[in-house]
Amino acid sequence: MTSAIGFSGVSRHYGDVKAVDNLNLDIAEGEFFAMLGPSGSGKTTSLRLIAGFERPTAGEIRIFGQVAQGIPPYKRNVNTVFQDYALFPHLNVRDNVAYGLMIAGTPKRQRQKSADEALGMVALGGYGDRKPSELSGGQRQRVALARALVNKPKALLLDEPLGALDLKLREQMQEELKTLQRSLGITFIFVTHDQGEALSMADRVAVFNNGQIVQIGAPEDIYYRPKTPFVADFVGSSNVLPPEFMNGLVGKSSYGAVRPEAVRLAEQGQSALVRSVSFLGAATRVTMDIGNVPMTMLMPKGAAVPKAGETVTVDWAAEDLHVMAPA
């Protein structure tokens, strides 16, 4: 696998603010790569560094082997789907999609044909004559996608593209994006703050915090084997166990994590005081304290649920306890 995008020692500082700090990253060609993190973690800045809207204050970015330094956005062979879609309001949908081709000098008839094809690909055939303002959020999102893809970029950058959509539409679009990426085989770099979205779609996920990547790996790795308490907490809301507690448990002074769904009521184990119980539909969430360590348990539907104030005994399988590297 060849490298599509490479960051080596890339920083983007605004005065004292380190938006991106000494980032090293390699994204393979054809990969569906997610950048996950809370807002302000540097993921969007990283994407904008690739697109060329921002310039690194240090380090080097390579795009398909070419050093990106000094290459303006309009000469980079990547295209972006913006968070607000950034559709041109004065152009109809077809002209929006054909914009890149028009700039490239494609004859009118040909670029309109390509634009209509691209619209067909995102299931918007026949919408070409409408204005962006006449479309729904999901439709606009797909126009933005078609507008980027019609240029056949080698990498597609997506900045929170599903953020503005409602839950149902978002899930549907996640599927469609995934399918699209598979069929086109081009590199997708996807920025999101929604860990479910990142885990379900991406081949690999980079978790950002404070301008740095704290963990990078396959979704399963991130989910089951968080390297830091931050990842454990941010990706899937694991119960983070402090080193002192772990010391008593496994005799090793490092952080541990256990997923809420792995925690169960047991005959033997840790004694816990139930603080609250919330019904979630498919499951029930029980929050409790083991000593001073907070712990969340997800109980499947139908199980007998303890009441707040009760003291219960909980446990988990040894393989469900993930022990992180020593801090």
Q: Indicate whether 187 belongs to the interface with other proteins (CB under 8 A).
A: no
Closest distance to other proteins from the beta carbon of 134 (Å): 13
Count of residues near other proteins by CB under 8 A? 26
Which residue lies nearer to other proteins by CB, 101 or 216? Answer: 101
- Residue 99: CB minimum distance to other proteins, A: 5
Among 18, 40, 57, 86, binds other proteins (CB under 8 A): 86
Which residue(s) pair with 35 in the sheet? 191, 206
Strand pairing class (58-63; 66-67)? antiparallel
Can you tell me which of 103, 123, 266, 308 binds other proteins, judged by CB under 8 A?
103
How far apart are the C-alpha atoms of 103 and 70, rounded to whole Å? Answer: 21
- We find the least distance from the C-beta atom of residue 53 to other proteins, in angstroms, to be 5
Give the 3-state secondary structure of residue 326.
coil
| Closer residue to other proteins in complex, CB, 148/198 | 148
Nearer to other proteins, 86 or 277 (CB): 86
Q: Show Cβ contacts of residue 135 under 8 Å, excluding neighbours closer than 6 positions.
A: 93, 127, 143
Contact map string, positions 111 to 150, toward other proteins, x by CB under 8 A: ------------------------------------xx--
Cβ-count burial 283-315 (b if 16+ within 10 Å, e if not): bbbbbbebeebebbbbbeeeeeebeeeeebebb
CA distance 5 to 91: 32
Q: Which of 30, 56, 100, 306 binds other proteins (CB under 8 A)?
A: 100
Residues 21-80 that bind other proteins (CB under 8 A): 51-53, 72-75, 78-80
Write the single-letter amino acid at 304.
A
Instruction: Supply the minimum distance, in Å, between the C-beta of residue 151 and other proteins.
Output: 7
Distance CA 5, CA 155 (A): 9
Q: Give Cα separations from 227 to 8, 34, 231, 257, 258 (angstroms).
A: 22, 17, 7, 10, 13
- Out of 9, 14, 58, 88, the residue judged to bind other proteins by CB under 8 A: 88
Question: How many separate helices (H) and strands (E) can be counted in the chain?
Answer: 10, 17
Pick one of 71, 82, 203, 269: the residue that binds other proteins (CB under 8 A): 82
Q: Which is nearer to other proteins, 156 or 257 (CB)?
A: 156
Tokens coding 151: 């240029």
Paired with 247 in beta bridges are none
Closer to other proteins by Cβ: residue 104 or 317: 104
Residues in contact with other proteins by CB under 8 A are 51-53, 72-75, 78-80, 82-84, 86-90, 99-100, 102-104, 147-148, 151
